[in-house]
Amino acid sequence: MNFTSEELNYLIYRYLQESGFHHSCYTFGIESHIHRSNINGSSVPPGALISMVQKGMLYYYVDMTLKDEKNGENQNNHNNLENISLIDSIGKMSELSSGNLSYGVATNAKNDQQLTPDSQKKLTKDSKREENSDQRRSSESDVHSNSIHNSEIFAIKWHPNKELIATGSSDGTAKISQPNEVEATVLEHYPNEIDKRQPEASNGNCGISDRYAVTSIVWKPDGSQLLTACADGKGRIWQLDGKLVATLSNHTAPIFVCRWNIDGSLIAMGSADMRVTIWDSSSYEMKQCCDHHKGPVTDIDWQNVSIFATCSTDRSVAVCEVGSEKPIKSYEGHTSEINVVRWDPSSNLLASGSDDCTVKVWNLKQDKCVHDFRGHVRNIYAIKWCPVKRVVSCSCLASASADRTIRIWDVDRGICLYTLNRHQSPVYSLAFNSDGRLLASGSYDTAVNIWSLENGLLVRTVMIDGPVSDIDWHKDNRIVAVSGNGSSYVIDMRKNY
């Protein structure tokens, strides 16, 4: 049996993606030219690399047992199968090899679960569960899918006033479309010469070029324009008819996040070049460049028209004001990369989620965090504040993690209200509906789960045809979700409401 370096690289790429190592995944994808691969990603199940490593360890154990039986040695000299570690297996294989063994390198993720026969059985069980759920993927009358992109979709947003959906994809385009309509307005981010030279990506690839992947999208608050951020280091402003209004060029590395302020007068963008730029949305000129971070900027959130928060892989959170050269507040306390920051819409509280498995809540009036929420055992990918307090009579914060759970925190009392644990893979996205009664979560297990905030119970599960990368609620209680296979899904929750 042979496998190519291209195949191995793809499995490693998928492992990094599924485990939440987004920055490593992006860099590895560029250096290994994953976007040129012809591998059909939809045929590769989640956890493929881990499954192969587990099977290799099982093969090694069986091989050693048979050799001992043949040589008449005592089999009790070997550890129990559950106690055999990957490193021990590699070490023993190297002792027995004739020097022809080649080695790879893997990162040390301290929170990775141990590989045991039980976990292997669970993988098989989960795989069967997913196969059995296929009949639910497109059969529900109030779930409508639409294939609109050639590769993974990173972001999706309902228009604030119209029946329009905006999507941003790794295929180098953003699109504006009506729900359930195939026709769309295409916003091309790659040069025309690239378009002519590069063939369209096949299903499962990374798009025309990772250099032009659309990483973030957001509607202007009045809905008149769409802002997109791109891996080429440029922001772009578009009209609804697809006309490019302005290109915001200053960053020297991919932009991870773009945000309008509350009244739409200013734009903030954060990049892998460790800078945040502020732009005037009328003149399209840069007003300010903030270089207070020492690592890539991973998220930005505006509190009002002039104050915004930023976070970075440098483990810090900063609160900045337009016009001020230095942050008005700098928070430290996380011990690993910070992935997300969000303001509570009704107070001066700011929440941050990190790879250190904690969610911290900060107050502008204090220098240290007021809450240090612990309970997750893997990276935090998303956090969302409940928009209203009347559902559970407190300030609620939801957090999603690679540990496959969502936690609902009572910020007033500093406790965990619910742990929602029905997902089978890392949870990447969260969204509350407008009155805060329902929470939607999207996971790599291809499930969109809808939860009741009143009691923490699962209201509904909808399986789609790929990992769920983003979700958004419409004001009339419809959910839109997107997946890695380039499709969008509209889930009508009005009959459940």
What is 387-412 written as a DSSP string?
S-STTTTS-EEEEEETTS-EEEEETT
Predicted confidence at residue 138, as pLDDT, reads 40
How far is the C-alpha of 327 from the C-alpha of 309, rounded, in Å?
Answer: 9
d(CA 342, CA 257) in angstroms, rounded, equals: 13
Per-domain residue ranges of the chain: 5-35+46-103+115-137, 143-496
Q: What is the pLDDT of residue 125?
A: 40
Let me know: does 456 contact 417? Beta carbons within 8 Å.
yes
Tens of pLDDT, residue by residue over 87-146, are 665 555 444 444 333 333 333 333 333 334 443 444 334 433 433 443 344 457 788 888
How high is the pLDDT of residue 85?
61
Q: What is the pLDDT of residue 462?
A: 93
> Which carries the bigger pLDDT value, residue 92 or residue 26?
26
Contact 290, 320 (CB under 8 A): yes
How far apart (Å, rounded) are the C-alpha atoms in residues 331 and 427? 26
Tell me, what's the pLDDT at 199?
39
Q: Mean pLDDT over residues 453-468, rounded?
A: 93
Say whether 257 sits in a helix, a strand or coil.
Answer: strand
- The 8-class DSSP code of residue 158 comes to E
Quote the Cα angle for 153-159-162, to 5°. 135
Residue 203's pLDDT is 36
* pLDDT surpasses 50 at 264: yes
Give percent of the chain above pLDDT 70.
76
**Better-scored residue on pLDDT, 41 or 438:** 438
pLDDT value at position 106? 32
Judge contact between 464 and 484, C-beta under 8 A: no
Instruction: Label residue 126 exposed, middle or buried (CB < 10 Å: 0-12, 13-18, 19+).
Output: middle
pLDDT at residue 279 above 60?
yes
Q: Six-digit token pair at 343? A: 């303001």
pLDDT at 2: 61
Residue 34, judged by CB atoms within 10 A of its CB (0-12, 13-18, 19+), counts as: buried
CA–CA distance, 409 with 369 (Å, rounded to integer)? 15
Same fold, 5-35+46-103+115-137 and 143-496: no
Residue 26, pLDDT above cutoff 60: yes
Q: Is the pLDDT of residue 330 over 70?
A: yes
pLDDT at position 409 is 98
CB atoms under 10 Å from CB of 99, counted, come to 5
pLDDT at 373: 98
**Of 17, 52, 20, 21, which is closest to residue 34 (Cα–Cα)?**
17
The residue with greater pLDDT, 205 or 235, is: 235
Q: How far apart are CA 432 and CA 383, in angstroms?
A: 11
**5-35+46-103+115-137: CATH, from 3.40.1050.10, 1.20.960.30, 2.60.120.1270, 3.30.70.100:** 1.20.960.30
Of the pLDDT bands very low, low, confident and very high (cuts 50, 70, 90), residue 14 is confident
Assign 71 a pLDDT band (cuts: 50, 70, 90): low
Among 197-201, 260-264, 312-316, the least confident range: 197-201
Average pLDDT over residues 465-481: 88
pLDDT digits (tens, 9 = 90+) for 284-300: 999 999 999 999 999 99
d(CA 245, CA 257): 19
Q: What is the pLDDT of residue 89?
A: 56
**Residue 113: per-residue pLDDT:** 37
Q: Are 340 and 353 in contact (CB under 8 A)?
A: yes
Q: How confident is the model at residue 443 (pLDDT cuts 50, 70, 90)?
A: very high
Whether residue 379 contacts residue 393, with contact meaning beta carbons closer than 8 Å, is answered with no
pLDDT score for 102: 35
Which residue matches tokens 């976990």? 119
**Secondary element (H or E) of residue 8:** helix 5-19
**What is the C-alpha to C-alpha distance for residues 14 and 166, in angstroms, rounded to an integer?**
26
> Where do runs of H (alpha helix) occur along 277-353?
none
Close Cβ partners of 365 (under 8 Å, ≥ 6 residues apart): 348
Average pLDDT over residues 25-47: 72
Q: Which of 353, 347, 371 is nearest to 361 (CA)?
A: 371
> What DSSP character marks residue 123?
H
Among 293, 225, 288, which residue's Cα sits nearest to residue 260?
Answer: 225
The predicted-structure confidence for 189-227, as pLDDT tens digits, reads as follows 987 644 433 434 333 344 445 689 999 999 999 999 999
Would you state the CATH architecture of domain 143-496?
A: 7 Propeller (2.130)
Kindly list the distances between the CA atom of residue 474 and the CA atoms of 145, 451, 480, 491, in Å, as whole numbers in the listed order: 16, 16, 8, 10
Locate 213 and state its tokens.
């992947």
- Give the model's pLDDT for residue 497: 62
CA separation (Å) from 115 to 47, 56, 86, 119? Answer: 12, 11, 8, 6
450/13: higher pLDDT: 450
Task: Please give the pLDDT value at position 116.
Answer: 41
Note the pLDDT of residue 311: 98
| Range in 83-92, 344-353, 369-378 the model is least confident about | 83-92
The token duo for 285 is: 């000129």
Query: Which of the two residues, 325 and 362, has the higher pLDDT score?
Result: 362
Q: Which of 248, 252, 221, 231 is nearest to 174 (CA)?
A: 231
